[in-house]
Amino acid sequence: MTIPEDDSGRASSLPTPVLPVICDSCRAQGAAGEGQFAEVGDILHFAPVPRRPQVGNWTPDQQRAFIVALAITGSPKRAGIAIGRDDRGAMKLRTAKGGESFSKAWDAALAIFAEKEKAAERERTKGRLEARAGRHGSAGPSGRSKEDQEADLAREREDYEAARARIRDRLLRARRLYLFTLCADEAKQAAWEALCGPVDWARALEMKPQDNEPYPVRMVEPDMLLTAEGGCIPDMVGCGRDRGQEYVAACDEARETGEEGPAVRRLFGCAITPSELPL
């Protein structure tokens, strides 16, 4: 077993961690660290968050298993399910004393997942190129060379990635708007956290990104189903209320009157003082 060095070049007291077994198949076949796990070894060289050895606390192996699952799924909730733990506990580890190294590993895991998504799209693009070349011969349609086809597909891939990023940004902004509308109702906040995980409500009040915003966004997950049901993406749902228009109306009303009015009450679904919110 090798001993890693710390930033000063001295040998660290932390042993090199092994890849955790996170499923029965890996345990039976001895496949941990192979296949889909092969790319995540480096990010496991982090210092686990110190926890007392008692029932219910996150052990170092569980913390590493969560990071592995996060790199594979790209979703804290799915990662928690994969290892049989609640992702809300993992969120608390990020902000706990001694959680800096775990938090960096978390970010690195999401970066690995994002890169794998891009690599998969490159493979799909390559497949389309090969299929197109097979249909039209080496010169391609209209006598175009393979190099020209590759350039066209590269531009298509860039356009696709840009469109995908715009859609993700649009959905996350809608999610932030919905969280903002919950800031006046503690019961709704508790319901959201029970279904979707913890929220920094101070950041939600300012419509800032949350630490656990999903990558990628999945419309089948509870957070986006609630966002859609709450009227924050009416252009995609095609019916129901338009929370975006309600927000604009509430801002106008608050600026003009400085008082609680029907537009503000409609936006939040309850009585609220406009001065308490960044309208």
CA dihedral 218, 78, 176, 202 (to 10 degrees): 180
Report the b/e string of 245-255 with b at 16+ CB within 10 A: ebbebbbebbe
CA distance 152 to 131: 14
Question: Which pTM value belongs to this model?
Answer: 0.55
CA distance 67 to 80: 10
E strand segments, 140-264: none
User: Is there a domain that residue 222 lies in?
Assistant: no
User: Is there a domain that residue 110 lies in?
Assistant: yes
Question: Structural domain tally of the chain?
Answer: 2
User: Is there a domain that residue 192 lies in?
Assistant: no
User: Is there a domain that residue 256 lies in?
Assistant: yes
* Residue numbers of the domain that contains 123: 20-133
* pLDDT at 271 (0 to 100): 52
Query: Which of 101, 133, 165 delimits the end of a domain?
Result: 133
Query: Which of 133, 156, 172 delimits the end of a domain?
Result: 133
User: Is there a domain that residue 183 lies in?
Assistant: no
User: Is there a domain that residue 182 lies in?
Assistant: no
* pLDDT at 8 (0 to 100): 43
Query: Which of 102, 117, 133 delimits the end of a domain?
Result: 133
Digitized pLDDT (tens) for each residue of the chain, 279 residues in all = 333 444 444 444 444 334 444 555 554 444 445 555 566 667 888 999 998 888 888 999 899 999 998 988 888 888 898 899 988 899 889 888 999 999 999 989 988 888 888 888 777 777 776 676 666 555 455 556 777 777 877 888 888 888 888 999 999 999 999 999 998 889 999 999 988 888 999 999 999 998 878 777 888 889 999 999 999 998 887 777 899 888 888 888 888 887 777 887 788 876 555 455 555
User: Is there a domain that residue 189 lies in?
Assistant: no
User: Is there a domain that residue 155 lies in?
Assistant: no
